[in-house]
Structure 1
């Protein structure tokens, strides 16, 4: 069974940067959407400034996450940045906070507030969009109904349809749909084929 009770998650529309000065140290946070771990690593590599004293970062990709203190005391930079991401319900997001040391020590608490606060400021002001979980499945259709089913499903927002394989009697279609719409898609397929075709969703 598909559980449609989802916590709504958001990602960023585009890259955003914010800067602030804290006790003579300069902090710049850059946040952006990332599709996967490779994209997150590329984002961090591209946005880390070699001239900065530290380039601390964090990213969240569903259940996967990473963070790094880049030489700052353990737990004072990467983890607060990740907390800023999670605190705003964001996913598929990477954040780099670069620091130029200004000569005044901030202490552990001060560093946590500086890194986490700069990341949070950047993320709060960034434009966001809802993330939609998709579910994929297959349905077998006869030749007489194939074109109609493809056309009707393909016209639905967020639904993608492709031919996975042809059979002697028709074709097996691969279907991807937003999880909340899965029930409606299955019902539409059943109605279009008078119950002869049944959507099979992958768990």
Structure 2
């Protein structure tokens, strides 16, 4: 089970025929969070001509957008279409425009708002959220060096390491990679490394 969202809040901007466009993006889980982000940017950019927005949420399959005074179909739709094409969900984008005195026309507005959404997504960094296995590996100090090297080689990501009378590595990995890890651990430690499952959780992974 996986989906694509953005890693963190980010923003970027550009100038198009003297109009300044600012794209701001943030990961959100609920409509309340999305609306709070939109309201905050409308306050921050209170003197802007337009604060166009769009958001897509997994929960309830919610999709909303607003042209915020721009000609119908030239602002909110290009923003949400850009989000859809990138596969992003659980995210909100606000595209702010300070009008520079030169009309862009319908096609120009569509291109400008699409680009604003694209740079906002780039600033927030798309990630693939996947349900991964949370694992714990216990091994001796003698085996630690080999085990530590094997985990990333098998696609695992170390979350923490505890040193007591033994070494315990906390990690997560995609479920389909577990079998390969188990084989490598058994070979490297003669079966002495203990591997325990600690549940499942969504983790950010690179977008392929």
Q: Shared fold (TM-score greater than 0.5)?
A: yes
Aligned length: 137
Matches within 5 A, 1:1-203: 8-48=2-42, 49-62=45-58, 63-132=61-130, 155-158=198-201
Q: Give, in whole Å, the separation in 2 of the partners of 1:153 and 1:39.
A: 36
Residue 133 and residue 66 in structure 1: after superposition, are their counterparts in 2 closer, same or farther (change >3 A)? Answer: farther
Note the C-alpha offset of 1:157.
Answer: 3.4
Q: Give, in whole Å, the separation in 2 of the partners of 1:154 and 1:74.
A: 52
After the TM superposition, list the runs of 4 or more consecutive aligned residues in structure 1 that deviate by more than 6 angstroms: none
| Correspondence for 1:164 | none
Segment of structure 1 superposing worse, 125-134 or 61-70:
125-134
Residue by residue over 1:109-152, the C-alpha shift from the partner in whole angstroms, topping out at 9 and shown as x without a partner, is: 10010011111122134323323479xxxxxxxxxxxxxxxxx9
Note the C-alpha offset of 1:27.
Answer: 0.4
Q: Give, in whole Å, the separation in 2 of the partners of 1:31 and 1:23.
A: 23
Q: Give, in whole Å, the separation in 2 of the partners of 1:89 and 1:24.
A: 31
Segment of structure 1 superposing worse, 59-68 or 123-132:
123-132
Q: Give, in whole Å, the separation in 1 of the partners of 2:131 and 2:34.
A: 20
Q: Give, in whole Å, the separation in 2 of the partners of 1:36 and 1:111.
A: 29
Partner of 2:200, secondary structure, is coil
TM-score, normalised to structure 1, is: 0.62
Q: Which stretches in structure 1 are left out of the alignment for 5+ residues?
A: 1-5, 135-151, 159-176, 179-203
Q: RMSD over aligned Cα, in angstroms? A: 2.3
Q: Give, in whole Å, the separation in 1 of the partners of 2:110 and 2:196.
A: 49
Partner of 2:11, secondary structure, is strand
Q: Which stretches in structure 2 are left out of the alignment for 5+ residues?
A: 133-194, 204-208
Q: Give, in whole Å, the separation in 2 of the partners of 1:133 and 1:77.
A: 34
Residue 133 and residue 77 in structure 1: after superposition, are their counterparts in 2 closer, same or farther (change >3 A)? Answer: farther
Note the C-alpha offset of 1:80.
Answer: 0.5
Q: Give, in whole Å, the separation in 2 of the partners of 1:16 and 1:45.
A: 16
